[in-house]
């Protein structure tokens, strides 16, 4: 458990509910590990393999907004052990997340791996940059094969993260994952079909008694 994450997540109102539910003693004086302020190899590999994530922000009115971001695996780039970044392309032009982050630069990311029933949640502070503000970062996160215009770069500074348990995550698989899983079956089926075709040819060539 990443208790640095809970240091941020547990507020007075959360503590009030914990007391109401009779579990406040579990967390009141807990002295756990708080070294999860940098990404390790496991986190970096997990993030690099993701082709989507969810990002929650909050507006001036206090309403939360959750946005789904998607792209090729690795579009959310691990810049270093404390920093993530991604390119923001022209889309529906509502700019809700971008606007929310002007008023409050704090965000929470949820990264899901449904196939392996794993999820990583990350607290970050977000800086929105123009592409020309940091050309090296822009070159790192831009995807030349994607033809939409890069409008901005989001640089995310890690505050803390936590791995959630796998309970209630229903396994789901992407098309490439399914293709990889069934590929051995396809090859075996092709071998059997070739063997059957060879046997049929032998039977046809065999003279009748």
Q: Are residues 24 and 65 in the same domain?
A: no
Q: Which residues of 11-32 are buried (b: 16+ CB within 10 A; e: fewer)?
A: eeeeeeebeeeeeeeeeeeeee
Share of the chain above pLDDT 70, in %: 94
Q: Are residues 84 and 107 in the same domain?
A: yes
Tell if the pTM clears 0.85, that is, is over it. Answer: no
Q: Are residues 85 and 180 in the same domain?
A: no
Q: Count how many domains the chain has.
A: 3
Look up the CATH number of the domain holding residue 102.
2.30.110.10
- pLDDT score recorded for residue 27: 81
Q: Are residues 81 and 92 in the same domain?
A: yes
Q: Rounded to the nearest 5°, which phi and psi values hold at 75? A: -70, -25
Q: Are residues 119 and 139 in the same domain?
A: yes
pLDDT band at 2, cuts 50/70/90? low
Mean pLDDT across 19-40:
79
SS3 of residue 41 by DSSP: helix
pLDDT band at 120, cuts 50/70/90? very high
pLDDT digits (tens, 9 = 90+) for 162-192: 988 888 888 888 888 888 889 999 999 999 9
Cβ atoms of 166 and 104 within 8 Å: the answer is no
pLDDT band at 26, cuts 50/70/90? confident
Kindly tell me if the per-residue pLDDT of 31 is higher than 70.
no
Q: Are residues 100 and 135 in the same domain?
A: yes
Q: Are residues 179 and 194 in the same domain?
A: yes
Q: Which of 99, 165, 94, 91 is nearest to 126 (CA)?
A: 99
3 or 26: whose pLDDT is higher? 26
- Average pLDDT score, the chain: 90
Domain membership of residue 25 as a residue range:
1-35
Q: Are residues 24 and 46 in the same domain?
A: no
**What is the C-alpha to C-alpha distance for residues 158 and 37, in angstroms, rounded to an integer?**
7
Q: Are residues 68 and 40 in the same domain?
A: yes
Q: Are residues 160 and 186 in the same domain?
A: no
Kindly tell me if the per-residue pLDDT of 157 is higher than 80.
yes
Q: Are residues 17 and 77 in the same domain?
A: no
Kindly tell me if the per-residue pLDDT of 147 is higher than 90.
no
**What is the C-alpha to C-alpha distance for residues 133 and 3, in angstroms, rounded to an integer?**
35
Cβ atoms of 163 and 2 within 8 Å: the answer is yes
- pLDDT score recorded for residue 1: 45
Q: Give all strands of the β-sheet with 64-70 in edge-to-edge order.
A: 64-70, 52-58, 106-113, 118-129, 150-164, 83-89, 77-80
């Amino acid at each position: 458990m990443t208790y640095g994450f809970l240091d941020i997540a547990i507020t007075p109102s959360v503590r009030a509910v914990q007391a109401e539910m009779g579990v406040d003693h579990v967390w009141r004086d807990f002295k756990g590990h708080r070294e999860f302020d940098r990404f390790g190899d496991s986190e970096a590999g997990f993030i690099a393999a993701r082709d989507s994530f969810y990002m929650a922000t909050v507006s001036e009115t206090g309403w939360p907004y959750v946005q789904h971001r998607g792209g090729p695996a690795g579009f959310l780039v691990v810049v270093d052990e404390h920093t993530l970044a991604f390119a923001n392309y022209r889309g529906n032009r509502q700019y809700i997340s971008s606007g929310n982050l002007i008023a409050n630069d704090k965000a929470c990311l949820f990264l899901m791996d449904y196939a392996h029933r794993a999820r990583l949640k990350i607290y970050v502070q977000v800086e929105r940059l123009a592409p020309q503000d940091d050309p090296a970062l822009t070159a790192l996160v831009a995807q030349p094969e994607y033809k939409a215009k890069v409008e901005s770069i989001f640089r995310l500074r890690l505050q803390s993260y936590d791995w959630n348990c796998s309970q209630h995550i229903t396994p789901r698989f992407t098309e490439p994952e399914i293709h990889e899983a069934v590929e051995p079956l396809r090859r075996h089926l092709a071998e059997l079909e070739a063997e059957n075709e060879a046997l049929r040819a032998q039977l046809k060539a065999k003279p009748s008694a």
